[in-house]
């Protein structure tokens, strides 16, 4: 031990609390920091034009020399999606299981930075040591293979981070959650538990993935033509089950959609999915087989407009179009916010003549997160001294706190924290100890953080009522208007439908400018502000709309 035994452990969630996505947590002891996960979040509806959101890691960058490594629980985007952006600012070794690293690798390749990064594979059951800490990888079940919880042994005690998990006694890959290991940790005493709160509102148990396979096989049995299944590309066990159902009926399998092709390749290469090459066909060749011998596994289960299934539905897919007798299965449930997109997609598929099966009708999807009874099991195995609910919006964290209390935990020992809060722990105590810089970095195209609140506010405003540009050229010597004012609009009204509105508006602006010229006002700001004011009022009275008004004065 290099550091004095008396250092406290600091646990700092830098994302993922009070929000869904961009999970990242720092654990600091003395002069060491380890980082757990580094995910991205998808933009809120208010984040107009934003592609992705990543966590602000200023705190880690400011403590660069302390950071020992990034430890990954599993390979979902909300746990690994931020890595390419973060490693550019802070290059640290990345530890994870084989599949998780396989997905990270492909991501880093796309960003052309794989050669600069260090990826270190760890198997479930193994551990990694730093000077003062020991990080154990513990097998869990989730909707992606090779998921792990992490137990971090610190000089003050053990911290357990469940990652995302569910308790599945009959997982498809046979990799049952390592309950014994959790029990052993509980026996030895756990200082702090950080546990997944996603499904805490749901009573009972999450159904085993295996049930979905049985349902799929039954539904496949009714198909007269092709079966097209949309699912999350990362759900490799689901993919395996779709493959199994297909083989059961002698169907060949085609993969459609970039991420589906990519992840199925990685999964097969690394041994997480088993499918004989003879049974794989290219999307180019599907028409060479009788429809009842073809399954297509595709992206687009969330109704994403550019994903394969939407392109199939709206007839913009180059190679696949809906045929009579197609049976389409949406083996996923809507991520909140996507409900309407998915409903529209299902409508379109029905209209094109396909049969569509989705979760409202048949159980063709199951969550990857623990429901109440599974959470109780985890709490009861680990019996932690302190507890911090993680992965969830505020109401989830709050419910998870109540759940822990219902198991007898002291409410003083439970910490509902926000991103950036610091929890300081010793062997016998835990307390909130200030905050560090944290937040969201928005990514728009190539820009990382160059779009902020003012730009977003403008985009929202533009989306509501459009913009109206007023241009005038003025001779600043003689105070005369040389050209204009001209009004050009976008997103405001149909010029043809607007009657005399814009003509009247132009007249109004002309008067306003003439007044300023007469008064010899040379302060352009004043003229602009006068134009904005009177034009804004005029337009609001006429239309009840408030477009952005952009007065531009060209002076000669």
Q: What are the catalytic residues?
A: 196, 369
Q: Does 534 show up as a binding residue in the annotation?
A: no
Q: How many angstroms separate the CA atoms of 407 and 380, rounded?
A: 8
Strand, coil or helix: what is 427? coil
Q: Which residue has the tokens 């400018």?
A: 513
Between helix 501-518 and helix 524-543 the angle, nearest 10°, is 150
Nearer to its own copies, 2 or 360 (CB): 360
Of 154-162, 188-196, 428-436, 484-492, which segment contacts its own copies by CB under 8 A? 484-492
406 binds its own copies (CB under 8 A): no
Site for its own copies in 170-209 (CB under 8 A): 201-202
Nearer to its own copies, 149 or 539 (CB): 539
- Cβ neighbour number for residue 293 with a 10 Å cutoff: 15
290 binds its own copies (CB under 8 A): no
Gyration radius from the chain CA atoms: 29
Shortest Cβ 490–its own copies spacing (Å):
5
Nearer to its own copies, 105 or 461 (CB): 461
Strand, coil or helix: what is 198? coil
Interacting residues of 364 by C-beta distance below 8 A, sequence separation 6+? 212, 215, 216, 219, 329, 330, 331, 357, 358
Site for its own copies in 332-361 (CB under 8 A): 336-337, 339-340, 343-344, 346-348, 350-351, 356, 360-361
Q: How many angstroms separate the CA atoms of 439 and 529, rounded?
A: 35
Q: Does 379 show up as a binding residue in the annotation?
A: no
Cα–Cα distance list, 21 to 66, 164, 454 (Å) = 25, 11, 24
Q: Does 369 show up as a binding residue in the annotation?
A: yes
Q: Which among 66, 86, 110, 67 is positioned nearest to 22, based on CA atoms?
A: 86
Shortest Cβ 542–its own copies spacing (Å):
7
Q: Backbone phi, then psi, for 161, in 5-degree steps? A: -115, 115
Of 9-17, 214-222, 238-246, 485-493, which segment contacts its own copies by CB under 8 A? 485-493
Shortest Cβ 195–its own copies spacing (Å):
19
Give the DSSP letter string of 245-280.
HHHHTT-EEEEESHHHHHHHHHHHHTTSS---GGGB
Site track 35-54 with its own copies (rule: CB under 8 A), x = hit: ---------xx--xx-----
63 binds its own copies (CB under 8 A): no
Shortest Cβ 308–its own copies spacing (Å):
20
Which of 269, 363, 491, 526 lies at the binding interface for its own copies (CB under 8 A)?
Answer: 491
542 binds its own copies (CB under 8 A): yes
Of 85-93, 269-277, 293-301, 490-498, which segment contacts its own copies by CB under 8 A? 490-498
Q: How many angstroms separate the CA atoms of 362 and 102, rounded?
A: 33
545 binds its own copies (CB under 8 A): yes
Q: How many angstroms separate the CA atoms of 28 and 7, rounded?
A: 10
556 binds its own copies (CB under 8 A): yes
Nearer to its own copies, 188 or 483 (CB): 483
Site for its own copies in 442-481 (CB under 8 A): 444-447, 449-452, 454-456, 458-467, 469, 471-473
326 binds its own copies (CB under 8 A): no
Shortest Cβ 76–its own copies spacing (Å):
20
Q: Which conformational region is residue 85 in: left (phi greater than 0), alpha (psi within -120 to 50 degrees), or beta? A: alpha
Q: Which residue has the tokens 């198991």?
A: 407
Which of 492, 513, 531, 535 lies at the binding interface for its own copies (CB under 8 A)?
Answer: 492
Site for its own copies in 6-25 (CB under 8 A): 18
Interacting residues of 353 by C-beta distance below 8 A, sequence separation 6+? 322, 323, 324, 326
Nearer to its own copies, 205 or 394 (CB): 394
Residue 343, judged by CB atoms within 10 A of its CB (0-12, 13-18, 19+), counts as middle
Q: Applying CB under 8 A, what is the total number of residues that bind its own copies?
A: 72
Structure token pair of residue 305: 């407009």
Strand, coil or helix: what is 69? strand
Q: Does 181 show up as a binding residue in the annotation?
A: no
494 binds its own copies (CB under 8 A): yes
Binding residues for substrate: 233-235, 365-369
Binding residue positions for Zn(2+) = 74, 76, 78-79, 142, 164, 391
């Amino acid at each position: 031990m290099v550091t004095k035994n008396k250092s406290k452990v600091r646990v700092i969630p830098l994302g993922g609390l009070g929000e869904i996505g961009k999970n990242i947590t720092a654990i600091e002891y003395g002069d060491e920091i380890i980082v757990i996960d580094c995910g991205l979040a998808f933009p809120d509806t208010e984040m107009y034009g934003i592609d992705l959101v990543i966590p602000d890691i200023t705190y880690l960058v400011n403590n660069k020399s302390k950071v020992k490594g990034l430890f990954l629980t599993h390979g979902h985007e909300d746990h690994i999606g931020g890595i390419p952006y973060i490693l550019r600012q802070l290059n640290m070794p990345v530890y994870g299981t084989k599949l998780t690293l396989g997905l990270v690798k492909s991501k880093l390749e796309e960003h052309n930075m794989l050669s600069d990064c260090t990826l270190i594979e760890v198997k479930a059951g193994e551990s990694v040591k730093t000077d003062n800490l020991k990080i154990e990888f513990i097998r869990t079940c989730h909707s992606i293979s090779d998921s792990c919880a992490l137990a971090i042994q610190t000089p003050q005690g053990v911290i357990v981070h469940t990652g995302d998990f569910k308790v599945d006694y009959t997982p498809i890959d046979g990799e049952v959650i390592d309950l014994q290991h959790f029990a052993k940790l509980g026996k030895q005493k756990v200082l702090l538990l950080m546990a997944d709160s996603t499904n805490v509102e749901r009573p009972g148990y999450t159904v085993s993935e295996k049930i979905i396979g049985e349902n799929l096989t039954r539904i496949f049995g009714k198909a007269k033509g092709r079966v097209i299944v949309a699912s999350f590309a990362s759900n490799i066990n689901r993919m395996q089950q779709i493959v199994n159902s297909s083989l059961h009926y002698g169907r060949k399998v085609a993969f459609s959609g970039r991420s589906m092709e990519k992840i199925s390749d990685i999964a097969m290469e690394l041994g997480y999915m088993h499918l004989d090459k003879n049974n794989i066909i290219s999307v180019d060749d599907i028409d060479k087989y009788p429809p009842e011998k073809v399954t297509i596994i595709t992206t687009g289960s969330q109704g994403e407009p550019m994903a394969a299934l939407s392109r199939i539905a709206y007839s913009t897919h180059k190679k696949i179009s809906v045929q009579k007798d197609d049976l389409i299965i949406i083996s996923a449930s809507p991520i909140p916010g996507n409900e309407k997109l998915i409903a529209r997609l299902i409508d379109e598929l029905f209209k094109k003549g396909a049969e569509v099966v989705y979760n409202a009708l048949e159980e063709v999807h199951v969550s990857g997160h623990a429901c109440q009874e599974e959470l109780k099991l985890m709490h009861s195995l680990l019996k932690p001294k302190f507890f911090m609910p993680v992965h969830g919006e505020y109401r989830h964290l709050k419910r998870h706190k109540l759940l822990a209390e219902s198991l007898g935990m002291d409410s003083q020992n439970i910490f509902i924290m926000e991103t950036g809060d610091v929890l300081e722990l010793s062997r016998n105590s835990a307390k909130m100890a200030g905050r560090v810089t944290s937040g969201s970095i928005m990514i728009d195209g190539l820009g990382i953080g160059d779009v902020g609140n003012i730009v977003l506010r403008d985009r929202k405003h533009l989306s509501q009522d459009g913009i109206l540009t007023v241009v005038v050229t003025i001779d600043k010597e003689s105070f005369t208007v040389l050209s204009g004012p001209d009004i050009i609009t976008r997103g405001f009204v149909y010029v043809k439908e607007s009657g005399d509105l814009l003509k009247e508006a132009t007249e109004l602006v002309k008067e306003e400018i003439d007044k300023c010229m007469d008064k010899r006002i040379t302060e352009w700001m004043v003229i602009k502000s006068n134009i904005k004011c009177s034009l804004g009022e005029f337009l609001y009275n006429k239309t009840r709309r408030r477009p952005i008004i952009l007065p531009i004065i060209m002076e000669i």
